[in-house]
A and B are shown apart, each in its own frame.
Chain A
Amino acid sequence: MLTLTSPVEIWAHRLAAGTKLAALAGATTGLFLLDAPWVLALAGVTAASLYASGGVGFAKAGVRQLWPLWPFVVLVGLWHLWTGDIAGGAVVLLRMVTAVALANFITMTTRLSDMLAVFERLARPLAPILPPRRLALAFALVIRFIPVMLERMALIRQSWSARSPRQPRWRVMVPATLSALDDADRVAEALRARGGAG
């Protein structure tokens, strides 16, 4: 399965995932505490230069990642033009777009396995109720079963189409859920036969 990590390797890929996440947490908190438009504009320019430092291809991919925000930008922009509170609108939009852009930057420059390793490390204090091995196994199971279930969904839809001229619509949900439940039982048995989930 494709992840959101950028295939274009830049300098930020080499930083430790934990460090990047801590910096992001700090920066995002700062963004939500700041109110001055020019400070937020400066933060926006900083975020843009981070993307620019990765080259044209990387920056383009970054813009594509931000694209789903456009309806909100248009909506809030129009709203503030209507009420005449331009500075207020600039603050809201700069803060939102910068916060999302910074977070996307971390996602684009950190491999999935490194990110999951940080999560597993963060969950270590929970070890008495959530053993780290079980968490890692849960991550792996989900990643493995998404393509399996996608394929099964397509099969269910195909067999429906073979029997009926109409679209299956929500009816595929019942066999899909049922097969997830059956899989869960079978995988549980298989795990137990191999020494349990640890």
Chain B
Amino acid sequence: MERNLTHIALFAALIAVLGLVPKIDLAAGVPITAQSLGIMLCGTVLGARRGALAVLLFLALVAAGLPLLSGGRGGIGVFAGPSAGFLVGFPIAAFVAGWVMERTTLSPAVAATAASVIGGIGVMYVFGIAGMALVLGKTLSEAAILAFAFLPGDVIKAVIAGMVTQSLARMRPASLLSRA
């Protein structure tokens, strides 16, 4: 019981910390923030249910007024802005990534990369694009063009999520709760 709670809380903190590290640190020349990497890792490491709960806990603290989203954004306002759809997609993305991870028997690296692409990119973009279309009053295809500007960065993050999950599986096999 306590282990579930602390894993959820610590990964919520990890998502926040990844939003605060400087952009350029992650990959040479590509300005990407690591926040959605945190969402992917919640799914691939903690599994579907705990991963989604960690993301929900993080979002609750953002809504309560902590500036934890990348770029120091936060408060209730972000849920009314153009990226609200992505925020709604965050917990579902983590859930789907975790679900994929739990259901396959592929090696952790391959499974986690695939899970991150399906959850962290596929599911996330469906919600993000729908949200942008709604808030900006545009058609889905127009909003999609805007969202796909972030695709290269997100593909890099999915690969990193796969490599990190693989390293964790090798160093501490028991720590991969999604495969426990």
Interface residues of A (CB under 8 A from B): 1-5, 21, 24, 28, 65-66, 68-69, 72, 75-76, 79, 88, 91-92, 95-96, 99-104, 106-108, 110-112, 115-116, 119, 134, 137-139, 141-143, 145-146, 148-150, 153, 157, 167-170, 172-174, 176-178, 180-181, 183-185, 187-189, 191-192, 196-197
Task: Report A-chain residues with C-beta under 8 Å of the C-beta of B172.
Answer: 178, 181
Task: Report A-chain residues with C-beta under 8 Å of the C-beta of B20.
Answer: 150
- Contacts A149-B14, A178-B175; is A104 near B41 (CB within 8 Å)? no
B39-75 to A contact mask, C-beta < 8 Å, 1/0: 0010001000000000001101101111110010111
Additional pairs, 9, CB under 8 Å, beyond known A91-B137, A184-B3: A28-B80, A103-B76, A106-B76, A143-B61, A143-B66, A167-B28, A169-B28, A181-B172, A188-B5
Kindly provide the distance from the CB of A86 to the nearest chain B CB, expressed in whole angstroms.
Answer: 13
> In the complex the two chains form, is A104's CB within 8 Å of B16's CB?
no
Minimum CB distance partner of B165 in chain A: A177
A4 to B64, CA, bound (A): 9
- Contacts A141-B6, A187-B6; is A177 near B14 (CB within 8 Å)? yes
Interface size on B, residues (CB 8 A): 59
> In the complex the two chains form, is B9's CB within 8 Å of A116's CB?
no
Kindly provide the distance from the CB of A172 to the nearest chain B CB, expressed in whole angstroms.
Answer: 8
Selected from B41, B65, B160, the residue in CB contact (under 8 A) with A107 is B65
Interface residues of B (CB under 8 A from A): 1-3, 5-14, 16-17, 20-21, 25-28, 34, 37, 41, 45, 57-58, 60-61, 63-68, 71, 73-82, 135-138, 146, 160, 163-164, 167-168, 171-172, 175
Minimum CB distance partner of A118 in chain B: B64
Task: Report B-chain residues with C-beta under 8 Å of the C-beta of A143.
Answer: 61, 66
Selected from B81, B160, B164, the residue in CB contact (under 8 A) with A96 is B81
> In the complex the two chains form, is B26's CB within 8 Å of A180's CB?
no
Task: Report A-chain residues with C-beta under 8 Å of the C-beta of B13.
Answer: 141-142, 145-146, 148-149, 180
Task: Report A-chain residues with C-beta under 8 Å of the C-beta of B146.
Answer: 75
Pull 17 A–B residue pairs with CB atoms less than 8 Å apart, ordered by A: A3-B67, A4-B65, A100-B80, A101-B77, A104-B77, A112-B65, A119-B64, A142-B13, A143-B66, A157-B25, A174-B167, A176-B17, A180-B11, A181-B45, A187-B10, A189-B2, A191-B6
A2 to B72, CA, bound (A): 10
Kindly provide the distance from the CB of B75 to the nearest chain A CB, expressed in whole angstroms.
Answer: 3
- Contacts A103-B79, A106-B76, A138-B5; is A181 near B168 (CB within 8 Å)? yes
- Contacts A184-B3, A187-B10; is A142 near B61 (CB within 8 Å)? yes
> In the complex the two chains form, is A134's CB within 8 Å of B25's CB?
no
> In the complex the two chains form, is A100's CB within 8 Å of B64's CB?
no
Task: Report A-chain residues with C-beta under 8 Å of the C-beta of B78.
Answer: 100
- Contacts A72-B136, A149-B17, A191-B2; is A115 near B58 (CB within 8 Å)? no
